[in-house]
Amino acid sequence: MSEILDKLVDLFKWPAAVLAVWTLPAFFQSLDYFGFRNIYFYSLVGGFFLYFVGSLSMDSGAKTSMQIIAHELTHSFFAVLTFHKVKHIRVADDNSGGSMGFTGHGNWLIVIAPYFFPLFCMLFMVGVSLYLKFMPLNWVASVLFGYFIGYHVDTVASQIHDKQTDLKEVGYPFCFMFLPGANLWILGSLLAFNGRMALNGHGWEGVWDYPKLLWKLDIDNLYYLFYLVRHL
């Protein structure tokens, strides 16, 4: 099963890169969707900057270890999603890096996942969704969410460089095309979650609706491009 799924995922590698590039304008066109002027967005921003203020006093070794663990756990999460059995997760004693192993060949999504997917943010989103079933929404939830987003942004930014073997494995041209759009899509989804959570307590509705908005904007931009070409 995993071999078939790997082949299917690999078929979508370059289409995903092209779509990520094409969606870049749509992200900036969608900014009004998020509803920035409310206490929950300000709380999110406060939590985001709180992470970076707190990280200044964090032990560098502990911080690096946490980022490596998050990195390998994200690899493992996508390996399990594509029906691979994870054999091990290791962190080097000197915090120089980590590794994970799984059965089967694998696919590009497993390799590239830590460079755009916010695993800890997703776990928080699941947790806060369960919390809201029993307790009313509080702006503190957005502060914590912003903190996790800050952690994700810092982790991704620190790990994207030319010495990363993962990036070399999937190819630098692909990374250049895919990662900016993928990261902005994820950021938009996180903002949409926070905005819908503030509106009615159903943050996942924002996560499902946001790609629909991007798709609509992508189609509108495609029609506009055809219009320009026809009138040259």
Instruction: Return all residues near 72 (Cβ < 8 A) that are at least 6 apart.
Output: 89, 90, 91, 98, 99, 100, 114
Tell me the C-alpha distance between 71 and 69, whole Å: 5
Tell me: the pLDDT tens digits for 130-154? Answer: 888 887 778 889 999 999 999 999 9
Q: Can you tell me whether residue 76 is helix, strand or coil? A: helix
Q: What is the mean pLDDT of the chain?
A: 89
Q: Residue 61: pLDDT above 80?
A: no
Q: Can you tell me whether residue 211 is helix, strand or coil? A: helix
Q: How much is the pTM?
A: 0.90
Q: Residue 69: pLDDT above 70?
A: yes
Q: Among the residues of 30-171, which ranges form H helices? A: 39-55, 60-81, 108-112, 119-131, 139-159, 165-170
pLDDT at 31: 85
pLDDT at 198: 79
The counts of H helices and E strands in the chain are 10, 2
Range of weakest confidence among 157-166, 187-196, 216-225:
157-166
Residue 25 banded pLDDT, cuts 50, 70, 90: very high
Instruction: Return all residues near 77 (Cβ < 8 A) that are at least 6 apart.
Output: 113, 117, 119
Instruction: Return all residues near 78 (Cβ < 8 A) that are at least 6 apart.
Output: 109, 110, 113, 117
Range of weakest confidence among 90-99, 121-130, 164-173, 208-217:
90-99
Q: Residue 1: pLDDT above 70?
A: no
Report the domain count for the chain: 1
